[in-house]
Structure 1
Amino acid sequence: MTAHRQLHLAVAFPGSGPAGVGPAGWAGAHPGSRLAFASFERLAHTAERGLFDFLLLDEEPPLPEHRGRLHELDPVGGPEPVAVLNALAEVTTGLGLAATVDAAVGEPYDLARRLATLDHLSAGRAGWRVADPADARPGADFRAADHLDPYGRAAELVSVARRLWGARSPGGAARPFAHRGRYFDIEGEFGLPRSPQGQPVVIQAGESERARELAAASADVLLVRHAPLETARSRHADVGRRLAAHGRTPGELKVMPQITVVLGDTAAEAQERAAGIRRQRITPQYALYALERIWGTDLSGYDPDGPFPDTAPSPGPPDPPEAGGSPSRDDRRLALAARWRTLAREKGLSVRETVIEASGRQSFVGTPDTVAADLHRYADEGAADGFVLLPQLPADGPEEFVDRVVPLLQERGAFRTAYRGGTLRSHLGLPQPAQDR
């Protein structure tokens, strides 16, 4: 019998991540649905029933902003993720619990203490998602000169947090701690002993050169966008090469694309459902917001159901190319604007129809059999170590995936049939932190 690579699966609370529900999908939702503990508990219990590795709760700004103007997209806000996960630790037994905590504004001791507390309350199931510093949106009070190198700050913050988590002997005795760096200057003793998994799992998100390098140096999981099989395989190999440069092996970093899934009894039904979800998610208000972020100018006077603008995009501020010869962010934005304009012209689409057509595509659409086969192929061909499901609507969740796709993955030998070990590190097959070996 052929041995297959085992997939890792996780789920984000609706709204988390770049392809999640977002402000558009939550338009019109009852405010309590995203604040009520029952919403989180139901999702956690479903994910645990499906033997998922972890649940991810994101930290999101309450209102989307572009060039200093807030966009009213009927967002309902969300609670602080670590506080919610502390409560979920009491009603779950196996599911990993991960939260986004912004490295652009956090302080090492406070952050390390909050996450270590969650790790203890959950008996070793905590994870910390470090957002891609290039995408961080700290408030104006934090836009200071020492944040001009967000990757440098994030790298130092992760390093200091790891050292704090390891600042006690295996027997529990406190060790004096001191750090003098560019961004942080602290000393003292860390007040908590080590957790059953040694320290929380560090989850890095991002696609850029520096995000991949930061993950290769210090992360346990790398979250990336979904990509075609060949592109994903090349990316996975690139991350593996970076690990070797830091004295690490490929098994020490799991690469997990963030995906959306739409199922149907037939391929046609799945495609019809997918189209309906795209129209629900891309509201008229959100279509204008998305276009403004590409066009770089105020388009509030445009009719979202009217013709695509014939004006040229506004150039952004100077933005030098990234390391490795990658085009600058402004160059990518202008190229995207050209593609959207061509798409609108060729198909005669309105503003909203263009945004739906260009940016609303789901990752995997099909019957449970075809989706299970596609996910399995990504793992078997070295394109991904697992996936993070991003529900697209407030009422959407992983129930259908758990009931219809997980059993097929288990039949293929591509997914666990029971949790082995009680910590998030054991779920992910990660080694113990170096200081605990």
Structure 2
Amino acid sequence: MTVDQPRSLHLAAHFPGAGGPAAWSDSPVSSQIDFASFEHLARTAERGLFDFFFLAEGLRLREHKGLVHDLDVAGRPESITLLNALAAVTDRLGLAATVNVSFNEPYELARRLSSLDHLSSGRAGWNVVTSSDAFTGENFRRGGCPDRVDRYTRAAEFIATARELWDSWTPDGQPRPIFRSGQHFAVQGEFTVPRSPQGHPVVIQSGDSDEGREFAAAFADVAFTRHGTLDAGRAFYADVKARLAAYGRQPSDLKIMPGVTFVLGASDAEARERAAAIRHEQISPERALLVLEQVWGRDLSSYDPDGPLPEIDPEPDVLLTQGLTQTGDPLETAARWRELSRAKGLSIRQTVIEATTGQSFVGTARSIASAMADFVSQGAADGFLLVPHLTPGDLDEFVDEVVPLLQERGVFRTCYSGTTLRAHLGLAQPVWKG
């Protein structure tokens, strides 16, 4: 009789922006510009033997009702520049950046990512995102943005072009010219960077739409997702993994990693109290109204955040916040929030707190380790992208308290067995296509 071995899980650390989930005042290193902030979180992630460190991207400061309302991820240095610097102060940790394919060109970006892969000895990752946001497009020479229907076709051609560039050097170090002419890109010439240690940097994708899931199955090595329950996670996991076969891929070729938060306490009750206090701090009265206005598409500044939700319906075609991707139908969201508010007797602020809280592990270090292991063993994830509440020091607590318990359970590494991000993730080296 054989005993099933526990499934190993993967961990990554996200450096959030200044708005939203991050609280900076609790940390002695509290700047989203100072390199020390990024170095601290990256070194902590490497000490915890994480697979990779992840940076989001913002290409324009968001505006709400015509005024800049937060810095978010746009108020800090460019991501690949940061990761090249972090490559010098880390040894094994993967380094992944979000880069938008709607406002970049394949040759230039393939060169930057290949350079990062060389300088880090094979630790580069690329989170592929698209944009249908004309407001952001105003920062670029061609203005506007691709039509929504073209977003994924452009992204697919972008990745195919980048991979052709990465494969244009032979394994023995000889450059070969490429001649590619497609719907969106035409490239003719020679790539200036030899084939990098990983062959291709790891490709990451996030998106819950049907198009996004299909794109992940076709192109991605890692997929980020947001799901608030085990059942929702299992459904997403099963659906995306089932799509891989159509592209000649195995389930192990794609790692699914939900973005999650965590709150630790000496007891589960203490952790729940702490989590409630954190969310109360994150969603101030002013921010609660701002979030409500983003859904309603109306100026709601006259409403009391501690009062009931508006009786008026949203204006579905009005965007008061520029630079923010709207997800879901506003009328459906409003109906869901009203039902939640009525069922629990919640105010505007309380409703926003409860409705916008994503997947979070709350409890003692032991209960969180157990819950994470269960999530993976029950087919809801291959690992997790951790989003700390406090930046950058909050991850230290997880590394010191939860990681040893995951190792004790046999579901997390006790040392790095490889040197590249692909090795950490258990992904095969891309076969050179000559």
1:316 Cα deviation (Å)? Answer: 2.4
Match of 1:431 in 2: 428
Match of 2:409 in 1: 412
1:340 Cα deviation (Å)? Answer: 1.5
Gaps of 5+ in 1: 16-20, 318-328
Match of 1:371 in 2: 368
1:9-28 matches, cutoff 5 A:
9-15=11-17, 22-23=19-20, 25=22
SS at match of 1:130: strand
Letter in 1 for 2:128: V
- Name the CA shift for 1:28/1:399 in 2 (closer, same or farther; >3 Å): closer
- Counterpart CA distance in 2 for 1:344 and 1:79 is 40
> After superposition, what is the alpha-carbon deviation per residue over 1:169-212, rounded to whole angstroms, capped at 9, x for unaligned?
00110111121111111111110011111121000111111111
- Name the CA shift for 1:24/1:7 in 2 (closer, same or farther; >3 Å): closer
- Name the CA shift for 1:241/1:156 in 2 (closer, same or farther; >3 Å): same
1:302 Cα deviation (Å)? Answer: 3.3
Match of 1:114 in 2: 112
Match of 1:358 in 2: 355
Letter in 1 for 2:181: R
Match of 2:7 in 1: 5
33-42 vs 21-30, which deviates more? 21-30
1:33-432 matches, cutoff 5 A:
33-61=31-59, 63-65=61-63, 69-73=66-70, 77-131=75-129, 133=131, 138-140=136-138, 141=140, 142-144=143-145, 149-316=150-317, 332-360=329-357, 362-432=359-429
Gaps of 5+ in 2: 319-325
- Counterpart CA distance in 2 for 1:290 and 1:190 is 45
Moved over 6 A (4+): 27-32, 134-137
1:427 Cα deviation (Å)? Answer: 0.3
- Name the CA shift for 1:307/1:232 in 2 (closer, same or farther; >3 Å): closer
Letter in 2 for 1:405: V
1:54 Cα deviation (Å)? Answer: 0.1
SS at match of 1:33: coil
- Counterpart CA distance in 2 for 1:115 and 1:124 is 10
Is the contact made by 1:198 and 1:436 (CA closer than 8 Å) also made in structure 2? no
- Name the CA shift for 1:410/1:134 in 2 (closer, same or farther; >3 Å): farther
Is the contact made by 2:228 and 2:358 (CA closer than 8 Å) also made in structure 1? no
1:394 Cα deviation (Å)? Answer: 3.2
Is the contact made by 2:98 and 2:126 (CA closer than 8 Å) also made in structure 1? yes
- Counterpart CA distance in 2 for 1:27 and 1:46 is 17
- Name the CA shift for 1:301/1:143 in 2 (closer, same or farther; >3 Å): farther
1:356 Cα deviation (Å)? Answer: 1.2
SS at match of 1:101: strand
SS at match of 1:97: strand
- Counterpart CA distance in 2 for 1:315 and 1:31 is 41
1:162 Cα deviation (Å)? Answer: 1.2
Match of 2:323 in 1: none
- Counterpart CA distance in 1 for 2:133 and 2:125 is 20
- Name the CA shift for 1:400/1:136 in 2 (closer, same or farther; >3 Å): farther
1:420 Cα deviation (Å)? Answer: 0.9
Is the contact made by 2:96 and 2:126 (CA closer than 8 Å) also made in structure 1? yes
- Counterpart CA distance in 2 for 1:306 and 1:133 is 36
Is the contact made by 2:224 and 2:256 (CA closer than 8 Å) also made in structure 1? yes
- Name the CA shift for 1:304/1:127 in 2 (closer, same or farther; >3 Å): same
Is the contact made by 1:274 and 1:362 (CA closer than 8 Å) also made in structure 2? no
- Counterpart CA distance in 2 for 1:136 and 1:428 is 36
SS at match of 2:258: strand
Is the contact made by 1:62 and 1:78 (CA closer than 8 Å) also made in structure 2? no
- Name the CA shift for 1:178/1:231 in 2 (closer, same or farther; >3 Å): same
> After superposition, what is the alpha-carbon deviation per residue over 1:79-134, rounded to whole angstroms, capped at 9, x for unaligned?
10100000000010000000000111111011101111110100000000112657
1:147 Cα deviation (Å)? Answer: 6.1
- Name the CA shift for 1:180/1:4 in 2 (closer, same or farther; >3 Å): same
1:289 Cα deviation (Å)? Answer: 2.0
Is the contact made by 1:147 and 1:153 (CA closer than 8 Å) also made in structure 2? no
Letter in 2 for 1:48: E
- Counterpart CA distance in 1 for 2:405 and 2:303 is 47
Match of 2:321 in 1: none
- Counterpart CA distance in 2 for 1:119 and 1:43 is 20
114-123 vs 68-77, which deviates more? 68-77
Give the TM-score, by structure 2 length. Answer: 0.90
- Name the CA shift for 1:27/1:351 in 2 (closer, same or farther; >3 Å): farther
- Counterpart CA distance in 2 for 1:44 and 1:343 is 39
- Counterpart CA distance in 2 for 1:31 and 1:402 is 18
290-299 vs 259-268, which deviates more? 290-299
- Counterpart CA distance in 2 for 1:274 and 1:314 is 33
Taking only aligned residues, the RMSD between alpha carbons, in angstroms, comes to 2.5
1:436 Cα deviation (Å)? Answer: 6.8
Is the contact made by 1:259 and 1:388 (CA closer than 8 Å) also made in structure 2? yes
- Counterpart CA distance in 2 for 1:61 and 1:393 is 24
Letter in 2 for 1:274: A
% identical equivalent positions: 53
- Counterpart CA distance in 2 for 1:127 and 1:139 is 24
